[in-house]
Amino acid sequence: MNNLFVYIETEGGKVADVSLELLTKGRELATELGVKLEAVLIGDGVAGLAPELAKYGADKVWLAEGAELAPYRTLPHAAILCGLIEAEKPQICLMGATPVGRDLGPRVSSAMHSGLTADCTSLVIGPHKDPKTGKEYEKLLYQIRPAFGGNIIATIINPDCRPQMATVREGVMKKEYAAKPGAGEVAKVDWKKMTRPEDFVVRIIERHIEERKIDIKGAGIIVAGGYGMGSKDNFQLCFDLAETLGGEVGASRAAVDAGFCEHARQIGQTGVTVRPKLYIACGISGQIQHTAGMEDSAMIIAINTDPEAPINNIADYTIIGDVNDVIPRMIKAYHKNSK
């Protein structure tokens, strides 16, 4: 009771990275709270994944298996998660801010009448005193996220309703085996009692999920372009530089919204979080929404015409100039010196 739940997402027989990242974070929070970390694993033929969840610190794995439970559909997964929440009363429930988690989370939070904070960039345990009633709370989950287009950082709490729910984007938390593995005790869930026939009315007719082609998360060098690249044609310069340096291409939300490149390359709160050894920001102003996804890079170079751009404040090097001048010079300099 009052433990910490992590909803486990699976695809193609594997646990999604974001779920392992949440277990890693969940382990830390559960230890601080003195409670158990429990994974909720719903799918078909997924029992074999339980030992891996234990390595990331899961004390217990709630396992619901059945052919009807995969691929993911909203209603049966929501019914099972709600059933478990009602029975086990976890104080916290975390899930990935993926198309699955962002579909499931609100449905469950509405049914449980508990709040849900989307796309958190940090989760911390802390106290709270209600300014009006003076009521004091000891260990609440601070759900911290940039808000309002990234212009502010909001700390959201959920004082009275349980569970405290939050979604977190892939890559935001680090993924690490627990110092001491959890017991990973598997508890089978009698899910048929938790679902009704109406939960199966939506039918999946067709499904094409591809292996991810673009994966910038693991890249050591990232050349990221922003709205300041000017056009889709010009954005090609980022690809040229990335190819020269042996890196990957990323983009700010503004560049993706403008159609300069595909969404899979978006870095920031509503995209991927990256920590490369070198990050080159080209024509990116540096709104918090973007910097939240790259500020832990080991070295940051910002190329910008604006000496006042916020990105310059977190950069190790700032090159003041037009990307059209700077990038070709960098490519030339690399060719000259790399041999």
Considering only residues 260 to 299 of the shown chain, the ones binding another protein according to CB under 8 A are 263-264, 269-270, 277-278, 288, 291, 298-299
CB of 173 to another protein, least distance (A): 18
Asked if residue 31 binds another protein (CB under 8 A), the reply is no
| Nearest CB to another protein, comparing residues 233 and 338 | 338
Per CB under 8 A, which of residues 47..76 are in contact with another protein? Answer: 71, 74-75
- Least gap, CB of 181 to another protein (angstroms): 30
# binding residues, another protein (CB under 8 A): 89
Range in contact with another protein (rule: CB under 8 A) among 52-60, 158-166, 175-183, 187-195: 158-166
Whether 162 contacts 90, CB under 8 Å: yes
Say how far residue 198 (Cα) sits from the centre of its chain: 31
Interface residues for another protein in 216-245 (CB under 8 A)? Answer: 221, 245
Q: What is the largest CA-CA distance in the chain?
A: 69
Closest separation between CB of residue 32 and another protein, Å?
Answer: 18
| Tokens describing residue 296 | 């832990």
Cβ proximity to another protein: between 4 and 245 the closer is 245
Torsions phi, psi for 304 (to 5 deg): -155, 145
DSSP letter (8 states) at residue 280? E
Q: What is the token pair recorded at 337? A: 């010196």
Q: Which CA distances in Å does 164 have to 4, 20, 40, 92, 299?
A: 9, 19, 16, 5, 36
Report in angstroms how near the CB of residue 63 gets to another protein at its nearest: 24
Give residues 112-131 in contact with another protein (rule: CB under 8 A).
113-119, 128
Judged by CB under 8 A, the chain residues 240 through 259 that form the site for another protein are 245, 254
Q: How far is the CB of 113 from another protein (least distance, A)?
A: 7
> Distance between CA 52 and CA 101 in Å, rounded?
20
Closest CA to 99 of 255, 257, 209: 209
| Among the listed residues 66, 83, 181, 310, the single contact to another protein using CB under 8 A | 310
- Closest separation between CB of residue 185 and another protein, Å? 31
- Judged by CB under 8 A, the residue of 133, 212, 233, 308 near another protein is 212
**What are phi and psi for residue 316, nearest 5 degrees?**
-80, -35
Strand partners, 302: 281, 318
Contact at 8 Å (CB) between 277 and 294?
no
For residue 160, state whether it binds another protein (rule: CB under 8 A): yes
